[in-house]
Amino acid sequence: MKVLFAPDLAKRKASELLLLPFWEGVTPAAQWSGLKLSPPVDFSGKAGEVCLHYPEKGLDEPRIACIGLGKKGAASDEQIRRAYAEAVKLALTKKIQKITVVPAIGFIAPVIEAVLLANYAFVVRKEAPPLLEEIQWIGVEPAQFQPIYTLIQGVHFARDLTNGNADDVNPRMLADTAKELLKQNRHLKGKVLDKKQIEAEGMGLFLAVNRASALDPFLIEVSYFGNPKSKEHIVLVGKGITYDTGGLSIKTTEGMSTMKADMAAAATVLATVKVAAELGLKVNITALAPVTENVIGSKSYKPGDVYRSMSGKTVEIFSTDAEGRLILADALTYAQKYLKPTCLIDLATLVGGTVIALGDDFSALYATEKKLAAALLAAADQTGERVWEMPLVEEYSEALKSDIADLRNSGWKEASSIRAALFLKEFVDTVPWAHLDIAGPAFLPKPKYYNPTKGTGYGVRLLVSFLQSRARA
């Protein structure tokens, strides 16, 4: 993609479409008097309204996308993002490839984010639909554009991994992707544990989930120490089930149809550490991702059997489909044993009940520390990657009890999202910990706002914003 910058409208190069913002309730022509416009009378400037206008003369571009921003003074960053995304989506349906973007005053960053986020498609057709190939920015400095471009490239990196076929984006491919990141950026350090090393660590839950797979599991660890003088170390753990059949507790056809995305959280934490290093954030972080398939075979782990975790706690398996919490439990133990985290955050496409409760606009947040929850909620507010804090109701832990083992992994209908979080909490000691269940927003059945259908890369912008706030603190 080619990127051009012009200091103002007078110095622009003509393109195929001019994206022009309008506030609601102000005469459209008066807002861009220099352009001698006469936008259609039925355009009101309401937030999210987009209207293609074909001026007869006096303009270098054949068309304008009039973008409604809502009332001046009342617009949020997210409202602006969604409005510009609508214009980009309209341009793509018209196969327009060269656009000029005039950002709304005071909203340059959200406009850049929205345009870049909306300019994405993962389509496996004979003829791929064209994306924008040239974007000209009016009144934007290259130095302002570059870090946002780096961030959104990270989101696209996570989207691509989530959208790829499960046979391609398998545990080894994710391990190789991590090794490639280590090669590309000398500021990244890390390693990949293979099956033998995972066995040596005694990660019995992780290995149980992997048992039926013909493919070996890996534990991916990628670190970036951007502030070596600080003792703070944020460890991000991402669930990496590259395909979830449910195991012997097999899923329905419908339930299985989205399960190539059960590694979305692993993609998000890898993308986050990549972006943090590329932006040179002054933080110390590690992305940790246990990756394996959860499939069916003669070696499948079995409901009713008991497995020993790396922590020593034993778990009675009620459902082999509740496998995410098993691999995360061992990864959380590993993180605390070897990485000395001062803050531990895990992400997972974990529980269907979370999506029933919150839909696909929100992830569910559980946290053991108010300050940490507040920082993540603030990042959600900043980025539009929405988060809803849910309670860790200690009394509900009763249901986690097993007659024969320390815990059982599921088997309750009510509060399934909360109980999954409580299960994970059993494997966390005193370190401040947060759990984000991203099952809703990570993978969409159809395009929404600036997100394409399927993989969204949810969480990358949220976590990077959270890290930026930590770097400032």
Binding interface with Zn ion (CB under 5 A):
241, 244, 262, 321, 323-324
Minimum CB–partner distance for residue 320 and Zn ion (Å): 8
Question: Is 316 or 321 the residue whose CB approaches Zn ion more closely?
Answer: 321
Question: Is 262 or 278 the residue whose CB approaches Zn ion more closely?
Answer: 262
Minimum CB–partner distance for residue 294 and Zn ion (Å): 6
Minimum CB–partner distance for residue 324 and Zn ion (Å): 4
Using an 8 Å Cβ cutoff, are 322 and 205 in contact? no
Q: How far apart are CA 470 and CA 21, in angstroms?
A: 34
Q: Is 251 a catalytic residue?
A: yes
Q: What are phi and psi of 243, to 5 degrees?
A: -160, 135
The catalytic position among 81, 325, 454, 461 is 325
Using an 8 Å Cβ cutoff, are 81 and 449 in contact? yes
Minimum CB–partner distance for residue 303 and Zn ion (Å): 13
Q: Is 260 a catalytic residue?
A: no
| Composition of the chain by helix, strand, coil, percent to 5 | 40, 20, 40
Q: How far apart are CA 456 and CA 273, in angstroms?
A: 17
Question: Is 190 or 411 the residue whose CB approaches Zn ion more closely?
Answer: 411
Give 419's contacts (C-beta < 8 A, 6+ positions apart): 396, 397, 399, 400, 410, 412
Question: Is 190 or 352 the residue whose CB approaches Zn ion more closely?
Answer: 352
Give 318's contacts (C-beta < 8 A, 6+ positions apart): 303, 408, 409, 410, 411
Return the H-helix or E-strand segment holding 382: helix 370-383
Question: Is 263 or 275 the residue whose CB approaches Zn ion more closely?
Answer: 263
Q: What are phi and psi of 23, to 5 degrees?
A: -85, 150
Minimum CB–partner distance for residue 326 and Zn ion (Å): 10
The catalytic position among 172, 251, 282, 302 is 251
The residues annotated as belonging to the active site are 251, 325
